[in-house]
Amino acid sequence: MEIFAHRGASAHAPENTMAAFVEAYNQRADGIELDIHSAADGTFVVIHDDTVLRTTRVSGTVAQLTYEQLRHLDAGASFGPSFRGERIPTLAEVLDFVKSTAMKVNIEVKGASVSEERLLELIREYGMVDRTIVSSFSWNVLRKIQALGYGIEVAPLCSEIHVMTPDEAYARGFKAIHPHFRSLSPMYIRRALELGIALRPYTVNRAEDVSALYRLGTHAIITDDPQKARRVVEQMHSG
Ligand code: G3P
Ligand code: CA
């Protein structure tokens, strides 16, 4: 079972910063998950919310700020003083780092103004087509990416309420689903396995949930704490 670090190792370092992605690597994550928006000048930036308030304590809307403005904000201090000075990274910076490792990257498209064409060009420029999964709650974004035909894996994100069944995913040509972990049942997981659809549920932080999903044969999990998940998986292997 692969372990993806949600917004990086966000239990240990400020979410969606280089510190969190490097920490995920140090904690032996198989991949990282991150969120992207388009800044006012079109730069893809790695941040979860539409605004910078929660993570930088400054008010402002990501889509209305240029990267030049965003790059001066402190995205680390709100997590802890030792992370003061961490920046909002660009997607290009993160791809450059991930490329130097064996990790995969799950790019979640958040902002409505992200250009699918430019995103795919960037992933291709960094030679990361085979190690990238693009996910989104906007299934339309994924359809556009499929239609562009680069062969990049796409995965619909499902909330606890808005669930896509493995059969629906199969019919739409999706080879993976990223569901909320509480929406999963053994029957759902079994059907996904039968159809060859990878499941990467989020956000799995409790040891008992990690081990239950491992036993049921889930392909991967997305967690804030890759170190803890790794320990659970290793214990299950040796037990
Ligand atoms: O990719 C799974 C998860 O990240 C989706 O929820 O709000 O953490 O982006 P959120
Ligand atoms: Ca996300």
- Classified as helix, coil or strand, 222 is strand
The pLDDT score that the predictor gives to residue 65 is 98
Q: Which of 6, 16, 46 best tests ligand 1's pocket when mutated (most atoms within 8 Å of CB)? A: 6
Calculate how far, in angstroms, residue 239's C-alpha sits from the geometric centre of ligand 2: 32
pTM: 0.98
Interval 172-200: pLDDT, tens: 999 999 999 999 999 999 999 999 999 99
The structure tokens listed for 232 are 């659970």
Is residue 112 scored above 90 in pLDDT?
no
Strand partners, 176: 198
| 15 Cβ inside 6 Å of ligand 1 | no
**162 counts as catalytic:** no
The answer to whether 46 and 35 have CB atoms below 8 angstroms apart is yes
Q: What is the mean pLDDT of the chain?
A: 97
**178 counts as catalytic:** no
The pLDDT score that the predictor gives to residue 210 is 98
- Classified as helix, coil or strand, 143 is helix
The model's confidence at residue 68, banded by pLDDT at 50, 70 and 90, is very high
Q: Which CATH number fits domain 2-51+89-238: 3.40.50.720, 3.20.20.190, 3.40.50.10680, 2.160.10.10?
A: 3.20.20.190
Task: Specify the DSSP class assigned to residue 180.
Answer: B
The model's confidence at residue 237, banded by pLDDT at 50, 70 and 90, is confident
Calculate how far, in angstroms, residue 60's C-alpha sits from the geometric centre of ligand 2: 20
Interval 122-149: pLDDT, tens: 999 999 999 999 999 999 999 999 999 8
Domain residue spans of the chain: 2-51+89-238
Calculate how far, in angstroms, residue 197's C-alpha sits from the geometric centre of ligand 1: 19
